[in-house]
Structure 1
Amino acid sequence: MQSVKELVLRCLWLCTEAEAKPDHALAASDGLQAFAPAASDGLKAFALGLNKRLTDDDAGRSGNLVTSPLSVYAALALVAAGAREGTLDELLRVLGAPSLDFLAGHVRALGEHALADGSRTGGPRVSLACSVWHDVTMPLRPAYRATAAESYKAVARAVNFRQKPEEAREQINAWVAAATNDLIPSILSPDALSSLTVLVLANAIYFKGMWEKPFDKELTKDDKFHCLDGIAVDAPFVRGLGWHYIACHDGFKVLQLRYVQGHSSQGQPQPPPIYSMCVFLPDTRDGLWELTDKIASNPDFVRKHLPCGDVMVSDFRLPKFKVNFGMTMEGILQDMGLNEAFEPGKADLSDMAEDGTGKLALEKIIHRAIIEVNEEGTEAVAATVATVILCSSKTSDAPHVDFVADHPFGFFVIEEVSGATLFAGHVLDPTTN
């Protein structure tokens, strides 16, 4: 009978032996060659940086968190498509892209390949949608309209922000509701649009995937989940015996749960998307924030610490949870280096629309995301809205491990081929929404 220490060392050896290129991710790592590495690294760095700043924020640390870095990234890329000079340079720097064409090409590739809907071939249902709403008195520049349509598949619609703001708000909310399967019925509150609003850029993402190995509902039982404040709450935990992809590292474990993958279609030039949820569980009950700092230290941290193979699990417990989170992100993005785009009179978004009497500037970045994890799989949605204002003057003997997520943990929903992070967050209390 092996000791616990021997089991951990064995698990560590399994992971380090093939850490550079895990066996079960060979297709994913090879498929990465189809995407521009610099743009992929930029998206990963943006995702981890955004997640780190949100976990450092009071709102992020006060409860459960979920965001879609990809949704925010795509919305800002749509803003960048209409920016010039220093404003454009700043956006490209924050998004980690060397040029506007490079950025547009990467987002287009993600939409066409990594985020292609796989529901018709038995895979996850995925959709990424963008839209541009402009005031009837301010037509979009033809070049911007063409870029938005070609690279971002964005629909452009004229509304009357100035005279009928409530009607415009209802139309945008209805679009978001339709794009998120009605899980986000509205994103713009009555005070979200000001008298100076002339443009709204919207983005929505929907994901629904079923586990490759679903969990038996009859095995789900309540157990104690230990929160950061020392209080233990009763929460329903899914349980699963047998083999699971788990990696044991110094101070934390990583669980990777694959979603059912769709069938490859004949003549498909790229490998099919591979989606999974990765749960980063610190060994100590209060170790989440330290682990979050480690994850944010390297854009490749998540990929490098994924499991190398499956191991026999003696005790497997993962809480069911549903997280609903929303906030305005101007302060977070300014901390990440995006400042000029929000400065009236200094921001240069003049490639976006015929501004006429004044300059355009970002006013608000509103983000909302929802994720639900249960025995069958995951359903998650997110929407990001950027409002723009007009500034008139501004085996039996195989090693066994345990994975008991009975204390706060972080999670990522990733597409392995492209490295894109669709959703990220943490769970501090699975019993709260």
Structure 2
Amino acid sequence: MNLLESIEDQNEDVFALAKHVIATTGKNTNVVFSPASINIALSFIAASSSDAIREQIVSLLDASSSDELNAVASHVLSTILADNSANGSPLISAANGVWADKYLPLNPSFMELLTTSYNAVFNPVDFRTKASEVTKEVNSWIEKQTKGLITEILPPTYVPALTDVIFANALYFNGRWDDKFEASLTKEDDFHLLDGTIVRVPFMTNEEDLFLRKIYVCDGFKVLKLPYSQGSEYSRAFSMEIYLPDEKDGLSAMLESFDSDPELWNGNMSREWADICKLKVPKFQFSFEFEASEALKGLGLDLSMMKIFHKCRVEVDEEGTKAVAATVVPGCGGCGPAPRTDDFVADHPFLFVVKEKKSGLVLFLGQVLDPSITI
């Protein structure tokens, strides 16, 4: 089993889910979600559900078996999302928790899977008489794991007394730009919304060392890669990629082109390199939540009565990026021609991705329609 190939296979479904979320719940709003968090939750569901649901998830994630999904989840959690911030790389925390009814008989092999593959904290609880208290406990755990950026994901009265198991995953990412933006250069300027409205938002820029930055120039859009500092670590390389359509109202057309040719957004696009003449990227921060189980129905995954709650928050400024996610499942140089130059002015709606380059794992994906909205 090649784990990196398995991750690449799972990535093929990332944009399909993104497109469905953007077209439905996130049609007219800023969007951010974590494919990594959702896939870990789906892998856990596959390992703990009936054959019918397991087969659906294995098929959706292009795996050969639930065992493969468990192995990928284990690798992602123990290696790609392991914290190595002491050596200067991004601060990362990925945690799993399981709350199971204390009267529920649990298979020893299932308990072993929780600890070995998912490194999950196990909590025996009493759903029958204390369902609301368990809900508060899960929400408090999420708040702690996301360092206060997500305070509630489960509705206070959602968890019924007949619940047997709750699985929760929390992901925290705090990366500092390898080349920070100078805060003194941040100035307000116009950002063009899809309906033609203009809002004033703070734009970050750098006047020095632009020659060190490159952009991809593709047919109809440009891509800016902003690497995060990795200190003395060389086994991983995290970055944010911003996909900016050429036309101010071109986000929808760009998304359609990605749907018809996934290679366009996963790094294998036909492209030219260009030096940057002018660089402007807006600061933004917002939260987004949706029922992932409903979105997954659009991809053919029917989890019956099971719900998957997903919530994310992202904050981007001159220093770097903070991004958190929670998923809860109740129920279960040289001589040559002169280099091309171009501007990268993100003054209209764009797509962004936070990913680990060497494995291709997508931690967060979103669209910015209006950076002036900060909720």
Q: Is the pair's TM-score, using the shorter chain for normalization, greater than 0.5?
A: yes
In structure 2, relative to structure 1, the CA distance for the partners of 1:63 and 1:117 (3 Å cut) is same
Q: What is the aligned partner in structure 1 of residue 304 from structure 2?
A: 342
For 1:172 and 1:44, the matched residues in 2 are separated by: 29
CA deviation after TM superposition for structure 1 residue 165, in Å:
1.3
Tell me, yes or no, if structure 1 residue 48 matches structure 2 residue 10: no
Aligned residues of 1:202 and 1:386 also touching (Cα < 8 A): yes
CA deviation after TM superposition for structure 1 residue 159, in Å:
1.1
CA deviation after TM superposition for structure 1 residue 45, in Å:
1.7
CA displacement, residues 272-315 of structure 1 (integer Å, 9 cap, x when unaligned): 11100000000011111121122234554322149776x43221
CA deviation after TM superposition for structure 1 residue 134, in Å:
0.9
Aligned residues of 2:89 and 2:229 also touching (Cα < 8 A): yes
Ranges in structure 1 where 5+ consecutive residues have no aligned partner: 1-32, 265-270, 344-361, 390-394
Q: What is the aligned partner in structure 2 of residue 3 from structure 1?
A: none
Q: What is the aligned partner in structure 2 of residue 223 from structure 1?
A: 189
Question: In percent, how many aligned pairs have the same letter?
Answer: 36
Tell me, yes or no, if structure 1 residue 293 matches structure 2 residue 221: no
Which range moves more in the overlay, 61-70 or 133-142?
133-142
CA displacement, residues 132-179 of structure 1 (integer Å, 9 cap, x when unaligned): 111122133221111121111111111111201121111111111111
Q: What is the aligned partner in structure 2 of residue 425 from structure 1?
A: 366
Aligned residues of 1:46 and 1:69 also touching (Cα < 8 A): no
Paired amino acid for 1:159: V
CA deviation after TM superposition for structure 1 residue 188, in Å:
1.2
- RMSD over aligned Cα, in angstroms? 1.9
For 1:61 and 1:128, the matched residues in 2 are separated by: 29
For 1:367 and 1:141, the matched residues in 2 are separated by: 28
Q: What is the aligned partner in structure 1 of residue 29 from structure 2?
A: 63
Tell me, yes or no, if structure 1 residue 383 matches structure 2 residue 351: no
CA displacement, residues 69-98 of structure 1 (integer Å, 9 cap, x when unaligned): 110110111111112322211111112211
CA displacement, residues 207-256 of structure 1 (integer Å, 9 cap, x when unaligned): 00000100001110000000001100000000123132300011000000
Give the one of 336, 343, 346 matched to 1:405.
346
For 1:306 and 1:236, the matched residues in 2 are separated by: 32
Alignment of 1:5-404 (within 5 A): 35-37=3-5, 39-57=6-24, 59-241=25-207, 242-243=210-211, 244-264=213-233, 272-300=235-263, 301-305=265-269, 311-339=274-302, 341-343=303-305, 362=306, 364-388=307-331, 398-404=339-345
For 2:113 and 2:31, the matched residues in 1 are separated by: 33
Aligned residues of 1:286 and 1:408 also touching (Cα < 8 A): yes
For 1:36 and 1:414, the matched residues in 2 are separated by: 14
Secondary structure of the residue aligned to 2:123 is: strand
In structure 2, relative to structure 1, the CA distance for the partners of 1:302 and 1:126 (3 Å cut) is same
For 1:406 and 1:306, the matched residues in 2 are separated by: 24
Question: Higher Cα Rg: structure 1 or 2?
Answer: 1
Aligned residues of 1:254 and 1:281 also touching (Cα < 8 A): yes
Aligned residues of 1:276 and 1:414 also touching (Cα < 8 A): yes
For 2:106 and 2:22, the matched residues in 1 are separated by: 37
TM-score, normalised to structure 1, is 0.81
For 1:367 and 1:84, the matched residues in 2 are separated by: 23
For 2:271 and 2:314, the matched residues in 1 are separated by: 23
For 1:35 and 1:332, the matched residues in 2 are separated by: 26
Secondary structure of the residue aligned to 1:411 is: strand
Paired amino acid for 1:118: N
TM-score, normalised to structure 2, is 0.93
Secondary structure of the residue aligned to 1:117 is: coil
Paired amino acid for 1:413: V
CA deviation after TM superposition for structure 1 residue 34, in Å:
6.6
Aligned residues of 1:220 and 1:237 also touching (Cα < 8 A): yes
In structure 2, relative to structure 1, the CA distance for the partners of 1:259 and 1:36 (3 Å cut) is closer
CA displacement, residues 21-71 of structure 1 (integer Å, 9 cap, x when unaligned): xxxxxxxxxxxx97341x1223202221111111111x2112100000110
Ranges in structure 2 where 5+ consecutive residues have no aligned partner: none
For 1:298 and 1:140, the matched residues in 2 are separated by: 45
